[in-house]
Amino acid sequence: MDVERVATALRSMEVGEVKTGEPLSRHTSFRIGGPAAVFVDPKHLDGIVAVLDWVRDEHLPYFIIGQGTNILVSDQGVDAVVISTSRGLKDAEVTPPTIRAGSGVLLTKLCRLAEKAGLAGLEFAISIPGTLGGALVMNAGAHGGAMVEVVESVLVWDAISGVRRISGDEAQFQYRQSRFMHNPWIALEATLRLEPGDPAEIRAKMQHNMEYRKRSQPVGEPNAGSIFKNPLPHYAGQLIQNIGAKGWREGDAMVSELHANFIVNAGQATAHDVLGLMRRIRRRVYQETGVVLRPEVRWIGPGEGGADATWENLWYAEDDGLREP
Ligand SMILES: Cc1cc2nc3c(=O)[nH]c(=O)nc-3n(C[C@H](O)[C@H](O)[C@H](O)COP(=O)(O)OP(=O)(O)OC[C@H]3O[C@@H](n4cnc5c(N)ncnc54)[C@H](O)[C@@H]3O)c2cc1C
């Protein structure tokens, strides 16, 4: 990519700050990640749409980042235009029993708005860090609830047909999955449908969920939430704990002593360290139980396994014998 040409063109659009070589470690909860070739932080919805239209027309690789709480970014960084939603898509409007919000709004903020308006249904989300956009893509969930239950519609930028509204059903939410992962769609805003509830009860449920989280997860250390999906009916954390992996280290990446499905950055961990630890865990769990763990965290970057690495070719590069079926 001709970085200077791209940055100059984006700056001339005057949609927000444009940086080159911005370390993505500043934008991820893992505090890991090399530089973005170009990083742009549009201030409003029209600006994001203008940037997206332009990168599409120029056939440039691009990537949307919310709060970076569910991604592992390559140490080499990404040769792409990284577009942040965390500045521009921040509006939220409560019209009981719905809330319409930009995809850059923090999930915790939405929960507080719901609580204040006496709207129930989002209590599960109170301690999930990240933006509404990230939560839609991941169908984020906890405490038995998930986004699928509350999403009425999403305003998307579709690389093929432009800005349009899709229904929650069209997003095809499944366990930590959605159509956003397989389509050239960017979530711009969403309408959530909640139910009238008792504010005191809503608050109590949220408080309970937050306390549970503090007791059971390493919230004070840099991490990216659950590393592997639960291979139902098993729980990834239980399988990893059973192989005795708590405290395992590769460099400064360490399996949390509090919750075995969390890898924490105990200092200067690199993506290379985290990948090494994930491979080790995955291999041992497979050897001992026959269960193949699949990552929940999303890999961003060319990878150590070659260009356009997905998790699968990262594993293949190591040839750990655990090919995806
Ligand atoms: C301590 C901790 C606890 C966690 N607990 C949970 C939990 O209980 N349950 C759970 O589900 N998750 C959990 N997570 C993971 C994470 O918080 C969620 O997946 C969250 O919804 C991700 O939001 P984000 O803004 O950080 O997304 P990012 O990490 O920035 O992005 C995630 C993916 O979504 C894409 N994306 C982001 N925004 C958009 C958009 N607007 N349009 C299209 N694509 C977009 C990105 O390209 C990327 O592929 C936890 C993470 C941490 C650090």
Residue nearest to atom 35 of ligand 1 (CA): 134
pLDDT at position 139 over 50: yes
pLDDT of res. 192: 98
Q: How far apart are CA 294 and CA 261, in angstroms?
A: 12
pLDDT tens digits, one per residue of 102-129: 999 999 999 999 999 999 999 999 999 9
Measured in angstroms, how far is the CA atom of residue 224 from the centroid of ligand 1? 8
pLDDT of res. 306: 41
The answer to whether residues 101 and 192 touch, using CB atoms and an 8 Å cutoff, is yes
pLDDT of res. 86: 86
Please compute the mean of the pLDDT values over residues 147-152 and round it to a whole number: 97
Judged on CB neighbours under 10 Å (0-12, 13-18, 19+), 323 is: exposed
Ligand 1 within 6 A of CB of 62: no
Q: How far apart are CA 40 and CA 60, in angstroms?
A: 14
pLDDT of res. 300: 87
* 280 tagged catalytic: no
pLDDT of res. 66: 95
% of the chain at pLDDT higher than 70: 93
Place of tokens 């504010």: 199
**Which residue ranges make up each domain of the chain?**
3-84, 92-201, 236-318
Top-tier CATH class for 3-84: alpha beta
> Could you tell me the two tokens for 110?
């939405």
Ligand 1 within 6 A of CB of 219: yes
Atom of ligand 1 nearest to the CA of 224: 53
Residue nearest to atom 49 of ligand 1 (CA): 298
The Cα angle at residue 27 between residues 34 and 271, in degrees rounded to 5: 40
243: helix, strand or coil: coil
Measured in angstroms, how far is the CA atom of residue 287 from the centroid of ligand 1? 30
Task: Check: pTM over 0.85? Answer yes or no.
Answer: yes
pLDDT at position 40 over 60: yes
pLDDT of res. 10: 98
Q: What is the second-level CATH architecture of the domain 236-318?
A: Alpha-Beta Complex (3.90)
Residues 176, 178, 189, 282: which is the catalytic one? 176
Please compute the mean of the pLDDT values over residues 159-184 and round it to a whole number: 91
> Could you tell me the two tokens for 37?
């070739």
Residue 246 host element (H or E):
none
Measured in angstroms, how far is the CA atom of residue 177 from the centroid of ligand 1? 11
> Could you tell me the two tokens for 126?
């109170």
Residues 226, 250, 256, 282: which is the catalytic one? 226
Please compute the mean of the pLDDT values over residues 90-94 and round it to a whole number: 95
pLDDT tens digits, one per residue of 275-320: 999 999 999 999 999 998 989 998 887 654 444 445 555 555 454 5
Q: What is the CATH number of domain 92-201?
A: 3.30.465.10
Q: Give the start-end residues of each E strand in the chain.
A: 16-23, 35-42, 62-65, 71-73, 78-84, 92-95, 98-102, 119-120, 141-142, 145-146, 151-158, 162-167, 185-193, 195-196, 249-250, 253-255, 263-265, 298-300
Task: Name every residue whose Cβ is closer than 8 Å to that of residue 84 and which is 6 or more positions away in sequence.
Answer: 27, 39, 40, 41, 42, 64, 65, 66
CA–CA distances in Å: residue 276 to residues 56, 116, 249: 34, 44, 9
pLDDT of res. 142: 93
Q: How far apart are CA 69 and CA 65, in angstroms?
A: 9
Q: How far apart are CA 129 and CA 67, in angstroms?
A: 8
pLDDT of res. 312: 55
Residue 248 host element (H or E):
none
> Could you tell me the two tokens for 76?
């080499």
| Summary count for the chain: helices (H), strands (E) | 8, 18
pLDDT of res. 311: 58
pLDDT, mean over the chain: 91
Say if strands 78-84 and 62-65 run parallel, antiparallel, or are unpaired. Answer: parallel
The answer to whether residues 239 and 289 touch, using CB atoms and an 8 Å cutoff, is yes
